[in-house]
Structure 1
Amino acid sequence: MDATTRGCTMAASVTSRALALLSAFDDRHRQLTLTELASRAGLPVPTAHRLVGELVRWRALERLPGSGRYVIGRRIWDLGLLAPVQTGLRQVASPFLQDVYAATLATVHLAVRDGLEVLYVDRLSGHASVPVVSEIGSRLPLHSTGVGKVLLAYAPAEVQRQVLAGPPRITPYTITQPGRLAAQLERVRREGYAQTVEEMSLGGCSVAVPVRREADVVASIGLVVPSLERDRPRLVTALRVAAEGITRSLR
């Protein structure tokens, strides 16, 4: 192995370790100590300490004063804003999400599928006191959210198979039976919208519709409200108008 090859191998190793440290963070682990970072990344503490120091200097990580815990830094957020899903879809959808918010005063979501999860690209917080667990950049299960059900209904067959094989129960009302969930997805494709009733959080209901680019469903927009009993048709109409506007703009 020549010097160049050894250098490339070492660089790849350092890169993979740094990425492992960044990947240690998730929705349930937003603040981590050095020991926790090392453990979750599978690295010795001295190695983690050295790499974390470099990531802090690069502003990929930040160290909280007082607690000494680490959080994701602003540099990662700045880079994330350059991703096409942010600069393209989010920018195009923004005025239409504002229209939906103005018409409903409810929490509005824009989401895309990321593997077996739904990734929230944008969110406008509503006026009503409704438990909402999503945040911009967070990931939630496809099967228990309105936007997730839409994206799952139009996902490849292999994705649907994996999700239906063992969807976890989030609340007592989460639909986890594969047959019932498959029937729901068929209904989404037939009626053009999805809904949930307290499947992700107690006291929260959601309704969502697909956003298309040509023949493909590339995103979903949805609302979270206390109840769907009376306003569902109005909410679905508002979402459909916005989705059609986004689709036209994406062309």
Structure 2
Amino acid sequence: MTSDPVKQAQGVQSVEIGSRLLAALAANGKSMMLRDLAKSVGMPASKAHRYLVSFVRMGLVEQDANTGRYALGHFALTLGLASLARIEPVSLATPILEDLCEEIGETVALAVWGTNGATCVRCIEATGPVTVTLRTGIVLPLTTTATGRVFAAFYQSPLLKKVLDAELGVAAKAGKTTQMALMREFEERLTEIRCRGIARASGGFAPGINGFSAPVFDHTGSMVAAIMSGGTIGHFNMEWDSSLALCVKEAATKLSIRLGYGYANAGELRN
């Protein structure tokens, strides 16, 4: 086994020691007194203070003039946002999708909002005797598929409303009803999806196919993708509290956290 070249290289020990204070502030999530901050990293307060003076000058840390408490500064925020901007959901999703596929034994996929709607961009097919086949590039209807519904419930885009209106218009003509009536019915469905944090559909993608889909959020709290799974009716459990549903939600939560969505907010997705 080859050793990590980064760990082998000579570094600046004082930087590594001082960074423990920054890590403690980030983990704590709120401002801290010097004594508490120093204690949390096992460092004498006088030593911690010297590091903090430099960090304040750099903008990595700020100190409240009234309380004396320390918190992460504007430059730390700039660095964090720059790192988050480099994150690409599809590449981060791949190992999560692989684990999910292995855990539930069903085909799984990642969808994002493309130029024409909710679009499958990554798919991992299960290896069982009867599996659902998805192809990348396919656009999923908003009203009849689990992934379409979860985008309709959580995604914010002017284009989404246009696509939804067009789908409901076609459905209204086919069903000899009004578009307004269908919209009221669909809004009730979306309310349930928002409450449960996951969408389901049966036969919407293809006859005989059930599916679940859960939203993925980024560091701004915006939906950026959906993790979905599909299987055959009679084999794929469609109960809201089934192990399949819970696994899909958990996978979406993991990816949301990787994309910078806060742990407190991510906890809401599990409920």
Does 2:202 align with 1:197?
yes
1:211 & 1:144 partners in 2: Cα distance? Answer: 20
Assess if the C-alpha contact under 8 Å between 2:100 and 2:251 holds in 1.
yes
**Equivalences, count:** 160
TM-score (norm 2): 0.53
Query: Cα 1:181–1:230, aligned 2, differ >3 Å: closer, same or farther?
Result: closer
Equivalent residue number for residue 120 of structure 1: 120
RMSD: 2.6
Equivalent residue number for residue 135 of structure 1: 135
Assess if the C-alpha contact under 8 Å between 1:131 and 1:203 holds in 2.
no
Query: Cα 1:136–1:106, aligned 2, differ >3 Å: closer, same or farther?
Result: same
Equivalent residue number for residue 3 of structure 1: none
2:110 & 2:121 partners in 1: Cα distance? Answer: 6
Does 2:189 align with 1:180?
no
1:196 & 1:90 partners in 2: Cα distance? Answer: 24
CA displacement at 1:91 relative to structure 2:
1.1
Equivalent residue number for residue 230 of structure 2: 224
The structure having more radius of gyration, on CA atoms, is 2
User: Structure 2: any 5+ residue segments left out of the alignment?
Assistant: 1-86, 261-271
1:121 & 1:230 partners in 2: Cα distance? Answer: 24
1:92-131 counterparts in 2 under 5 A?
Answer: 92-126=92-126, 127=128, 129-131=130-132
Please, which moves more after superposition, 136-145 or 89-98? 136-145
| 2:214 partner amino acid | V
User: Structure 1: any 5+ residue segments left out of the alignment?
Assistant: 1-86
1:121 & 1:166 partners in 2: Cα distance? Answer: 23
1:163 & 1:95 partners in 2: Cα distance? Answer: 31
Please, which moves more after superposition, 135-144 or 100-109? 135-144
Query: Cα 1:151–1:179, aligned 2, differ >3 Å: closer, same or farther?
Result: same
Please, which moves more after superposition, 140-149 or 202-211? 140-149
| 2:229 partner amino acid | L
Equivalent residue number for residue 161 of structure 2: 161
Query: Cα 1:88–1:181, aligned 2, differ >3 Å: closer, same or farther?
Result: same
Assess if the C-alpha contact under 8 Å between 1:144 and 1:196 holds in 2.
yes
Assess if the C-alpha contact under 8 Å between 1:121 and 1:136 holds in 2.
yes
2:211 & 2:238 partners in 1: Cα distance? Answer: 13
Equivalent residue number for residue 145 of structure 2: 145
The alignment partner of 1:185 has SS state of helix
Query: Cα 1:153–1:159, aligned 2, differ >3 Å: closer, same or farther?
Result: farther
CA offsets per residue over residues 48-101 of structure 1, 9 Å max, x none?
Answer: xxxxxxxxxxxxxxxxxxxxxxxxxxxxxxxxxxxxxxx821110111111110
Query: Cα 1:159–1:181, aligned 2, differ >3 Å: closer, same or farther?
Result: farther
Runs of 4+ in 1 over 6 A off after TM superposition: none
| 1:197 partner amino acid | S
Identity %: 21
Equivalent residue number for residue 249 of structure 2: 240
1:157 & 1:124 partners in 2: Cα distance? Answer: 27
The alignment partner of 1:103 has SS state of helix
TM-score (norm 1): 0.57
Equivalent residue number for residue 12 of structure 2: none
Please, which moves more after superposition, 202-211 or 233-242? 233-242
The alignment partner of 2:88 has SS state of helix
Query: Cα 1:231–1:180, aligned 2, differ >3 Å: closer, same or farther?
Result: closer
CA displacement at 1:130 relative to structure 2:
4.7
The alignment partner of 1:166 has SS state of helix
